[in-house]
């Protein structure tokens, strides 16, 4: 059918006769309900927003590719990592965590670092942050933690009391709090930060042998950060500073790139390592498990439509391909459910069929129907399994590998509770100037807390990480380190 692209149509494709004047009874109105073009236009406008993400609402995205630069096939059978030189298209979304969709980019907050690899075996989502650790290590605490980062139910203001109360009562957060309050808490741009898978994952090779791994994306642009003062100034002058920077860099051909590395731990080390390797509040020392190069990610194409691509992109840590499996990390286990569920609610049950999420690999399954099923819905093909009609069947070689478990089904706390050594190691790794800024950032935030009890409890955590750290924060707040510590 030939249509003239310059002719305006309704969403059902009919030509529009008047798009400037609503249809009224006489020149003064009232407006007529028979103006279905007006009704559709207003009603569709009311529905232009999908619910914003509860976390990571404000973000920017870009397309690019991943190229393998080192042979890791002895560790994983994932086909997109199978040979040096192999390229896989991908889409990345960077984000802040706590702010709403229109909030400022240059705030102190972790940054989301989510990558969707469109591999030949289906999509693989690596949904991480710009920090190697997280504030909590059990998903059951996540809604409470996020409540503390959001707004007070009465004032609708951010609430430092809630933030520091929760952190001081959840000492596993200390390591991430130290990273957040350090210079890297406000990256200069999305291009000047590292990315981490944060959790431990399992890689499995063609022989079915596994290793535990952690992912590190290292920025080729170098680490650059904003001070508290500059970040605050930019937040007022240009709240979309990071979004604009990423778009403009790619637009002018200055393509940002990251090198991907993994740390690899033999399965048996998990029982004896001095930290629980599945505890996402801890890192694996790079002295124990050095970084091994895997490949290079380059972002070289901007989205053509922000809503269609960035807003409708749906990432989930459970979007895995053969050769990459979850670990028992309790935070990861919760995310395997929560992310996909968020997208079913936010974008719809068929979110994986949208162009930005649709795998390049063909999808053959028995899922049918649901809201906005906009493909052929399987047509007349067989719609149940097992069947005698030649429908798609499982491939046992792609089964997830087994691992032994033991103990009782129970609400179980972690055995390891040393939240201080690694936070202290980080403090001791900082230069004197970096320590001064870290303490100043913490004091600036904590002095807004109204209860001394909360401040004193948190000072004890800093002190246990490093006596100098705790003492300097206490001095900055005009308090003394409590005797009992
Ligand atoms: P290493 O000396 O081998 O590694 C130190 C790491 O610290 C490097 O990855 C470095 O990143 C990073 N780093 C430096 N400054 C900061 C900062 N302000 N915020 C966050 N990261 C920073 O030591 P270990 O592996 O034994 O780790 C020591 C401490 O380093 C840990 O307790 C942890 O706090 C921190 N760290 C460790 C990571 C790991 O995977 N082991 C990853 C990130 C931090 P870069 O090379 O870019 O400077």
Render pLDDT for 460-472 as a digit per residue (tens, 0 to 9).
999 999 999 999 9
Tell me the pLDDT tens digit for each residue of 59-85.
999 999 999 999 999 999 999 999 999
What is the average pLDDT across 194-223? 98
Taking the CA of residue 218 as reference, the ligand 1 atom at the shortest distance is: 47
Q: Is 221's pLDDT higher than 70?
A: yes
Conformational region of residue 222, where left means phi above 0, alpha means psi within -120 to 50, and beta covers everything else:
left
Query: Cβ(285) to ligand 1 under 6 A?
Result: yes
Residue 465 burial (CB count, 10 A): 25
Please compute Rg for the chain using Cα positions: 25
Q: Cα(94)–Cα(62) distance, rounded to whole angstroms?
A: 9
Q: Cα(343)–Cα(371) distance, rounded to whole angstroms?
A: 13
Closest CA to 50 of 459, 372, 370: 372
Mean residue pLDDT across the chain: 97
The residues, ordered by sequence, that sit 6+ positions from 385 with a Cβ below 8 Å of its Cβ are: 366, 391, 392, 393
339 annotated ligand binder: yes
Query: Cβ(23) to ligand 1 under 6 A?
Result: no
Confidence of residue 305 (pLDDT cuts 50, 70, 90): very high
Question: Ligand 1 centre and the CA of 286: distance in Å?
Answer: 8
Catalytic annotation present for 19: no
Closest CA to 346 of 101, 17, 141, 98: 101
Instruction: Give 212's strand partners.
Output: 202, 265
Taking the CA of residue 424 as reference, the ligand 1 atom at the shortest distance is: 32
Q: Which residue, chain included where needed, has tokens 């929560």?
A: 338
pLDDT (0 to 100) of residue 2: 63
Instruction: Give 225's strand partners.
Output: 187
Conformational region of residue 389, where left means phi above 0, alpha means psi within -120 to 50, and beta covers everything else:
alpha
Instruction: Give 115's strand partners.
Output: 92, 126
Instruction: Give the DSSP H/E element, type plus range, for residue 165.
Output: helix 160-169
Question: Ligand 1 centre and the CA of 426: distance in Å?
Answer: 7
Query: Cβ(133) to ligand 1 under 6 A?
Result: no
pLDDT (0 to 100) of residue 484: 85
Tell me the pLDDT tens digit for each residue of 401-425.
998 999 999 999 999 999 999 999 9
Domains and CATH numbers, the chain: 59-134+187-357 (2.40.180.10), 420-477 (no CATH)
- Joined together, the tokens standing for residue 464 give 């246990």
Q: Cα(476)–Cα(472) distance, rounded to whole angstroms?
A: 6
Query: Cβ(184) to ligand 1 under 6 A?
Result: yes
Catalytic residue among 129, 130, 302, 352: 129
Instruction: Give the DSSP H/E element, type plus range, for residue 93.
Output: strand 87-96
Q: Are 315 and 91 a contacting pair, CB within 8 Å? A: no
What is the average pLDDT across 338-362? 96
Query: Cβ(47) to ligand 1 under 6 A?
Result: no
Where are the alpha helices (H) located in 265-383, listed in sequence order?
330-346
Q: Give nearest CA residue, ligand 1 atom 26.
A: 285
Q: Cα(128)–Cα(97) distance, rounded to whole angstroms?
A: 12
């Amino acid at each position: 059918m030939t249509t003239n692209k310059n002719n305006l149509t309704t969403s059902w494709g009919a030509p529009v006769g008047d798009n400037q004047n609503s249809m009224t009874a006489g020149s003064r109105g009232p407006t007529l309900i028979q103006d279905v073009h007006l009704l559709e236009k207003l009603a569709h406008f009311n529905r232009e927003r999908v619910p914003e993400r509860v976390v990571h609402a404000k973000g920017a995205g870009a397309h690019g590719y991943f190229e393998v630069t080192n042979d890791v096939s002895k560790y994983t059978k994932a086909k997109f990592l199978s040979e040096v030189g192999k390229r896989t298209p991908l889409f990345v979304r960077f984000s802040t965590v706590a702010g709403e969709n229109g909030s400022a980019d240059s705030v102190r907050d972790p940054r989301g670092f989510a990558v969707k690899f469109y591999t030949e075996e289906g999509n693989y989502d690596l949904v991480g942050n710009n920090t190697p650790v997280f504030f909590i290590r059990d998903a059951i605490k996540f809604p409470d933690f996020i409540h503390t980062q959001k707004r007070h139910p009465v004032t609708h203001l951010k609430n430092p009391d809630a933030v520091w109360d929760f952190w001081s009562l959840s000492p596993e957060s200390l390591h991430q709090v130290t990273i957040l309050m350090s210079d890297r808490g406000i990256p200069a741009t999305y291009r000047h930060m590292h990315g981490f898978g944060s959790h431990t994952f399992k890689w499995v090779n063609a022989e079915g042998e596994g290793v535990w791994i952690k992912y590190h994306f290292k920025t080729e642009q170098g680490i650059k950060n904003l001070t508290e003062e500059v970040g605050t100034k930019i937040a007022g002058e240009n709240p979309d500073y990071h979004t604009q920077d990423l778009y403009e860099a790619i637009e002018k051909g200055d393509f940002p790139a990251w090198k991907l590395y993994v740390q690899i731990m033999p399965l048996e080390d998990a029982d004896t390592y001095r930290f629980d390797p599945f505890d996402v509040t801890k890192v694996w020392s790079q002295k124990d498990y050095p970084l091994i190069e895997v490949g290079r990610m380059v972002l070289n194409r901007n989205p053509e439509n922000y809503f269609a691509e960035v807003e409708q992109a749906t990432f989930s840590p459970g979007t895995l391909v053969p050769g990459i499996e979850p670990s028992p990390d309790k935070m990861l286990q919760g995310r395997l459910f929560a992310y996909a569920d968020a997208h079913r609610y936010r974008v719809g049950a068929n979110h994986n069929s949208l162009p930005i999420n649709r795998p390049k690999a063909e999808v053959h399954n028995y899922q049918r129907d649901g809201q906005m099923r906009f493909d052929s819905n399987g047509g007349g093909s067989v719609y149940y399994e097992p069947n005698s009609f030649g429908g798609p069947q499982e491939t046992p070689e792609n089964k997830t590998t087994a691992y032994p478990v033991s103990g009782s089904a129970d609400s179980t706390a972690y055995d390891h509770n040393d939240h201080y050594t690694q936070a202290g190691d980080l403090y001791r790794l900082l230069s004197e100037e970096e320590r001064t800024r870290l303490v100043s950032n913490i004091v600036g935030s904590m002095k807004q807390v109204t209860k001394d009890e909360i401040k004193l409890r948190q000072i004890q955590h800093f002190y246990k990480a490093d006596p100098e750290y705790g003492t300097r924060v206490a001095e900055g707040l005009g308090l003394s380190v409590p005797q009992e510590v």
